[in-house]
A and B are shown apart, each in its own frame.
Chain A
Amino acid sequence: MAKKVILFFLPLLFCLFLTGCWGKRETDETAYVLALDLDEGEKDKIKITLQVANPQAAAGGGGGGAPSGGSGEKPFIVASIEAPSVIGGLNLLNSTASRELSLMHNKVIIYSSELAREGIAEYLAPLVRYRELRRTNFVFVSRGKAGEFLQENIPSLESIPSKFFEQMYRSVGFTGFIPRVQLHHFYENTKSKASQPIATLVDINHEVKQEKEKRGKEEGKSSAVSGGPEAENKNPDGGVTEDRPHEGHYLAGEIPRGGVNPAELMGTAVFRSDRMVGEIDGEETRLMLMLRGEFRRGFLTIQDPAAKDRIIVLDLRQPVSPQVKVELADERPRVTVTVALEAEFLSIQSGTNYERPELKKEIESEISKYVGEHAGKLIEKSQREFKSDIFGFGQFAKHLVSTWAEWENLNWPELYPEAEVDLQVHTRIRRTGLLVKMTPVGGGK
């Protein structure tokens, strides 16, 4: 009987362990970092800028840059410090904060382009090792100065910046103007010989910032929200020209627009190993994603072949990953890439009935020609200017050898700039939207 009583009470004794542990951290003792920005330091090796959630403002229920709950506080606090290392800097910053900084909810790691051009391996490995940071964090490269992006990024539609970042990444699925890069992918590629790292390019649009400040002064408050969409087209007559045939030809910080949030994500930072070696714009990013098999969907504007002053807008999709074949002939690699695309008509300004099967082919070949030509130029740029295989063709080159030693000897990063790339694009327009043809304005057949 005594044994049964002991056995009954023993589990209850274990319940005592559930009341807490050595490592407990209450939420009101913790400050949650949402974004981490790294730049070259002036007084020490590295400048670390943090965007920390402001629970007071969040509790007010306000959204974005709007004064929250009448308190006028931003939903985040930006703090910076200079230190010899990233993790050491966080600890140093903790000595000035009442709450313990936690990276558990960090969403974004931003490297300044200055730092990225010098190589970031030493600032990357500690982040992968540190248990609080996840490999699912997004990786950005900021074209401007450190901290500016975090300070100025006040999303108007989201309550907290971290949600803004995640929502922006959803846009990869329907614009393709930025790559979706998580710390895991980035770190993998810095170590790989088969493909090179890329990161999302971000910056502050200074025109939007100035306009916002001007508006704020006029209205007597600095963080006024004008309402309406974040990105209204500032230059609706921009149109399609030979120099700028498509809407994605911008780098972050250069999009001609108005709005309230000057933060922009557009284009890609290109790396060779751990060093940034260049930038590509939004349109090139789309083409890169098509060659990587990561392009899902985006609207494409092309010139009407029959009326050069008119445009045709299509909803472009990539139904399958590209077929890539790498061969080695006389020590020079030959890469054959076949990209398949599908499209749907969204707008035909000229009113020509391109929906008709015989005319549809003309547009299909126009799309294939556009993608083929521009993607070809991008491949050449990656070989000549960047010397960086951002498309991951090297992954297929690994199939050429049977052992790791042979792969090391092949030295793909050295071979890639010499590779001959044969690109074929096949496009099929599958749907025509909710119209099957257009009749002329004013009547007629």
Chain B
Amino acid sequence: MINKNKLSTAEASMVLFIFIAAKVFLPFPVAYIDEGLSAGWIMVIISLCGGLAGFLVIAALIRLFPDSTIVEAAERILGPVGGLAAGVVFFGFFITITSLTLRQFGEAMISAALPLTPISAIELVFMAAMFLACYLGIEVIGRSALLAAPYLTTAGALTVFLLYSFWNYHNFFPVWGAGMEQITKMGLLRSSAFGEILLVAYLAPVLGGAGRCLRAGFYSVLLAGLSILLLVAGMELAFSPETGRELNLPFYNMSRLVYLGRFFQRTEAVFVLFWSVAGMIMLAAGFYAATFSIANALRLPDYRPLLWPVGLMIFTLSLLPPDLPTATYLDTMILRMFGWIPAFALPALLLLIAVLRRAGGKGGKEGG
């Protein structure tokens, strides 16, 4: 696999961070309130713990095969056919994430700012940006992410804190919300929200070492988890569980609620710009992950020739759900419920087999 791109740890961390955390702009965070009620924020912490545990599994695999991508490692563990199958599963995971996210970001733009614009037109604009970013490579996405991340986190945190006049800390009570058992179970299942971290298992060669890969992965999961926690906690402060679980786009609803006197309101107009940037970077990262993973599985020397067919697949798949509720259901109840299987369980299985077979060590290329 030819890949001359080089990515710094900070750039990789920010790509992964935005790839994971940009879902706060979508309907997904409502699932925490819907399932955990007043303990939605505790569910996020449990999810974060699950996500970190999942990352540790991927990290162990990276340590075992420090110069290989996860597909190359899978080929060395399972053989060419098994490796290809694992690669196709990972490709399926990334393409599902990207197409559902594309659809939801498009729908979010319609709900928030462009009510009469056709979804296909909005998606085509996103696709153009995704294509350009992926064509230029992961380092371009990484630098864009590093530039955008401070502004995105500041805008997100501001939205939460500007709502202080609507905060009601009683919304955190009863403390255990839907019940300790329920929030633990659902919280762990919702660790699928951190499934995008699987991309780190493809970055070892471009990051130049397992150590940098692990640092980037750890920081991104932690930062994304804290960002989701901040948003869900902020949402619970402003909306009671009874009304919070009704929301479609929680972040948009929060930004519409900002009201600091006559002169500071209607802030969503500003925040729509930040969402678009976050959406572009997340979608570009997803597009890159999907294209790179299938190119890697097919042992192609470059992923760029696959941008057109994969892009077309993402665009087509994103338009398959007939409506937003279906897209949201597929994302929230299927992808973010069972996403841990391809993202964490499959790498865990690979790790287990590798340990049992005493596979590992350097030299990914001969295995790939």
Residues of chain B within 8 A of A17, CB atoms compared: 125
Tell me if B192 is interfacial: C-beta within 8 Å of chain A: no
Determine the residue in chain A with the shortest Cβ distance to B166: A184
The answer to whether B259 and A182 touch across the interface, beta carbons within 8 angstroms, is yes
Residues of chain B within 8 A of A398, CB atoms compared: 38, 170, 173-174
User: Which residues A169-198 have CB closer than 8 A to chain B?
Assistant: 182, 184, 187-188, 191-192, 194
Residues of chain A within 8 A of B257, CB atoms compared: 134-136, 184
The answer to whether A404 and B38 touch across the interface, beta carbons within 8 angstroms, is yes
Residues of chain B within 8 A of A136, CB atoms compared: 256-257, 259, 265
Residues of chain B within 8 A of A135, CB atoms compared: 253, 256-257
Give the bracket for the number of chain A residues in contact with chain B. 20 to 34
Listed residue (A14, A163, A192, A404) with the most chain B CB atoms within 10 angstroms of its CB: A404
Q: Nearest chain B CB to A120's CB is how many angstroms away?
A: 16
Give the bracket for the number of chain B residues in contact with chain A. 35 or more
The answer to whether A403 and B243 touch across the interface, beta carbons within 8 angstroms, is no
Given contacts A136-B265, A395-B170, A404-B38, contact A131 B243 (CB under 8 A): no
Q: Nearest chain A CB to B185's CB is how many angstroms away?
A: 14
The answer to whether A403 and B116 touch across the interface, beta carbons within 8 angstroms, is no
Residues of chain B within 8 A of A396, CB atoms compared: 170
Per DSSP, chain A at the interface is helix
Q: Nearest chain B CB to A376's CB is how many angstroms away?
A: 24
Tell me if A87 is interfacial: C-beta within 8 Å of chain B: no
Given contacts A188-B239, A404-B38, A404-B241, contact A23 B114 (CB under 8 A): yes
Tell me if A22 is interfacial: C-beta within 8 Å of chain B: yes
Residues of chain B within 8 A of A403, CB atoms compared: 174, 176-180
Tell me if B175 is interfacial: C-beta within 8 Å of chain A: yes
User: Which residues B89-120 have CB closer than 8 A to chain A?
Assistant: 111, 113-118
Listed residue (B113, B128, B243, B256) with the most chain A CB atoms within 10 angstroms of its CB: B243
Q: Nearest chain B CB to A328's CB is how many angstroms away?
A: 14
Determine the residue in chain A with the shortest Cβ distance to B38: A404
Which single member of A14, A191, A399, A401 contacts B240 (CB below 8 Å)? A191
User: Which residues B132-159 have CB closer than 8 A to chain A?
Assistant: 132
Given contacts A17-B125, A191-B242, A192-B240, contact A407 B118 (CB under 8 A): no
Could you write out 7 A-B pairs with CB less than 8 Å apart?
A134-B256, A136-B257, A136-B259, A395-B173, A399-B173, A403-B178, A404-B174
Q: 6 extra interchain contacts, Cβ-Cβ under 8 A, other than A392-B170, A404-B38?
A: A23-B113, A135-B253, A182-B259, A187-B243, A188-B239, A399-B170
Residues of A within 8 A of B (CB): 10, 14, 17, 21-23, 131, 134-136, 163, 166, 182, 184, 187-188, 191-192, 194, 392, 395-396, 398-399, 401-407
